[in-house]
Structure 1
């Protein structure tokens, strides 16, 4: 492990743990003190450290963090609020003083200003070879594009600056989202594609393929704004370049993606790493916290490292649980936990012993079919009955089902008990209460490139190609022997199918709010499906047109000497 570095800038000390890990080491962040940006940023080593500092903002408040996940996961058709935590975003009961939005806003602009400093100072540096300069600038412009892409999708028209801010500025502009796409995000990524290598010696640095992936997604989003077929054509071209790259391939088993010992696999285009050393981990990846129900308060159970620390934030909606045709599609089984074994002698049920099944949560109601895997990974079909559960598990197993009629008996889903997304769990944490996880956060993976291409092909009326792209992802998700049942034809392709396929494949991966707003489904889908079990339907009742964008944070408005303006409705 390399030591943490801290990079001193004018008036600021950046004290962020490394966010990018190589196979054998972390992206270096070295202590640099008693120097100024004017002196240190003139050297190759200094500029490389400045680039590394630009990466550090990826983990601050956004990827794998509660602020960013709250702004992208719940308050959608797939996740409502659990019983605990920050509910206002998921319930659409927020205004411009809401803290998650401000945290993301200021972090993105801190990252952007660091990127601006690197681009500006490197461009005029005559002491460094041109190929090294272009590589450093390309990485930084890739990051700058990503930071602006977050901002325009969340807030719409925002402040645009491509030059370093030094000292205090009290005026800010409102530049249209379309202009930011056309003059900043797209040119930055085009430069990155031209100047980044196919692979990097340090895992986690930006690559040409990562830039192609991101620009494909940018053109897809931009195409929805402009309505121009040419933007979707560009999205297709870039997505196909990623798909056709021989360095990447889909894993044969969806479950293998979430094996914490298999994170640098052939499907990952670009990810954010976290140190296994608690002294250098910083905020870590916290996504393992947010999707777990309150298992540790149920009979026979206490909190453990293997089962995770439950924050009880994001509860799957009934619609989310209905997405998969579980007879053929194995992703539900491979995404959720179904069995918890008793581990607490203090509150065992009568006749229950440590190691017995304490909780059985198959995600269906009594009398319905459910599907599990045998020891070889093949599908087993069962009908949920208490008798079967008693026989297979033990008589002390408590079955919790989505049927709210079971709530009087305490065995129905609620804000505290619900299907728990398992794919982000982190058993490497050193203690049961540790929040800072070591898991990589997958920002870009190959399966999404197929889904981006499918959506772009749909928008260009090429339904055959859209079906081909979707079928590749769907067949990978099939139970062994049922691949053909997951195949679809051009006649099956609709925008709703594409949206739901993204939900099945990318559940919980900070995509859903963007998908719904991009495609124009947010309001209708939230009103139809965003209902937390046994909870007032605040989201359903509150959402309106203004919620297609977040409010400009009040801190931004108050700190401007000019009239910065607010988004409509806030």
Structure 2
């Protein structure tokens, strides 16, 4: 869905018409009143609410806040945010990414509120009005999902901000979750299973989000019902092969419930999906290798899989090969080691005197993650990738159904949804061990979410919302010895507190 192109086209068209008209116009009318005065303006406004999703999904900030400091990823060689992995005192209220996340989400929320405050005064078909409201309310709830999982109690507002407001306090997160539930239920009630443009919110996306929110509210039966409706009533299906989900040429596939759009057009692609760079190690610093889009592209070496994650897969689990890049191939004749040829598998010294074709796992060289590969960029140096970011996948819907039913005390009903994901993951001609109701618990659930969804901007918030962050990070991340109970929330950005004229307490443990 070419959102930016749509907006620019409409805007240019309006300018052209205005230049040919002698009708007097109030050029000093406030911008929102002018833009949101007709159906086209409302439509462009809704498109603008979507645009902030690109700040969350596919950006270094979004990956860092959801990937670093978990049980399955630790920091790599480079980058300035290693304190989010080791939980040192540098993880504080001055953290730039947290300030940016706060601002981005509230900009999206205010854009949504502006639409919702004005839409009823605009003449348009009622069906279009309800669809715009539904999409916008879904997105408002989505931005609040990020804010409340990262920060806990935050500022809640459901009306457009006009002027400078310095006296807004913190609203309990449980109250915000109820508002999010209402918004998302409205989207469920007013959206169809398919959308006018691919990438817009649908009933399936709304139900998936409702399942997540109901889990936060401990409405486990409601969460299970929402997830099962996506599975039973929606137009989605698990693909036969896990690899097909991440096939670059198959991005609009039947398993994708909601995706953030990136396009092969630099003018309308913003900063692009940069996920291809952050999991890529510094392979180009070794003899016989140079940067190669087919082998990971530009290496930012931000995230390195933990030993726990690397060893979590059964031998017949196809997700291992789809997730990890463990071998590289010589491609640089200028530095080729003696006796090697271009195209040969690289031989690594994984420990003193031990050689292997499988890469070592150190800060300087580690396994990569292939899910975000994008070899279509014009140059290996380009960060702005074109791959869509999958926000909701049907396999996660299955796991949400299983989790909800488990927590509702119905493990026998949960197991078929859990095992459906495992069965699909088996390599062709093989099987994976399926679990029984007695084996299903939150740890087996989180293990399976790691195998299925690792590296997809979910892990930190999944661990935090399930109450497992501290336990599992201490157990599986060697960098995180400093993690404390209070780290289940991030610090409130200092700028927010400095600008407040009413008490705005900091989260426990931070200053």
Q: What TM-score, normalized by structure 2, do the two folds share?
A: 0.92
Is 2:459 the partner of 1:512?
yes
CA offsets, 1:123-156, max 9 Å, x none? 233x222222111111100100100011001100
Please give the root-mean-square deviation of Cα atoms over the aligned residues, in Å.
2.0
TM-score by length of 1: 0.83
1:172 aligns with 2:168: yes
CA contact (8 A) 1:29 1:52 kept: no
Q: Is the 8 A contact 1:329 1:486 kept in 2?
A: no
Counterpart among 113, 116, 120 of residue 113 in structure 2: 116
Report the CA distance shift for 1:255/1:176 in structure 2 as closer, same or farther (over 3 A). Answer: same
Alpha-carbon distance change, 4 to 460 in structure 1, aligned in 2, over 3 angstroms:
closer
C-alpha contact (below 8 Å) 2:277/2:300 kept by paired residues: yes
Cα distance between partner residues in 2 of 1:479 and 1:115: 44
- Residues 404 and 412, structure 1, Cα contact 8 Å, conserved in 2: no
Q: Distance in 1 between matches of 2:97 and 2:354?
A: 35
User: Which residue in the other structure is 1:352 paired with?
Assistant: 340
The aligned residue for residue 568 of structure 1 is: 508
Unaligned runs of 5+ in 1: 8-16, 18-27, 224-230, 360-397, 532-536
Q: Which residue of structure 2 lines up, in the alignment, with residue 245 of structure 1?
A: 233
Q: CA distance change for structure 1 residues 247 and 400 in 2, over 3 Å: closer, same or farther?
A: farther
Structure 2 residue 28 is the aligned partner of structure 1 residue 80: no
Runs of 4+ residues deviating >4 angstroms: 28-35, 403-407
Alignment: residue pair count? 490
Distance 1:220 1:2, change over 3 A: closer
Structure 2 residue matching 1:351: 3-state secondary structure: coil
Aligned pairs for 1:45-84 (under 5 A) are: 45-60=40-55, 62-84=56-78
1:515 Cα deviation from its structure 2 partner: 1.6
The Cα offsets for residues 357-391 of structure 1, whole Å up to 9 and x where unpaired, read as 2x2xxxxxxxxxxxxxxxxxxxxxxxxxxxxxxxx
**Correspondences of 1:172-211 after superposition (within 5 Å):** 172-182=168-178, 184-211=179-206
| Matches of 1:515 and 1:122, distance apart in 2 | 35
- Deviation string for 1:342-361 (max 9, x for gaps)? 1112211002222222x2xx
Q: Are 2:473 and 1:478 aligned?
A: no
Which of 241, 266, 271 does residue 283 from structure 1 map onto?
A: 271
* Corresponding residue for residue 337 of structure 1: 325
1:244 positional shift: 0.7
Is residue 312 of structure 2 the alignment partner of residue 320 of structure 1? no
C-alpha separation between the residues in 1 aligned to 2:10 and 2:494? 33
Residue 369 of structure 1 aligns with which residue? none
CA contact (8 A) 1:260 1:439 kept: yes
- The separation in 2 between residues aligned to 1:286 and 1:42, in whole angstroms, is 36
- Which digits, 9 at most, give the CA deviation of each residue in 1:412-450, with x for residues without a partner? 421021111112111011101100110010000100001
In the alignment, the residues of structure 1 paired with residue 273 and residue 494 of structure 2 have an alpha-carbon distance, to the nearest angstrom, of 28
CA contact (8 A) 2:152 2:172 kept: yes
Equivalent in the alignment of 2:486: 546
Aligned to 2:98: 101
Pick the aligned partner of 1:160 from 151, 156, 161: 156
User: Separation in 2 of the partners of 1:48 and 1:3?
Assistant: 10
Higher share of residues assigned helix: 2
CA shift for structure 1 position 287 = 1.0
Gaps of 5+ in 2: 16-26
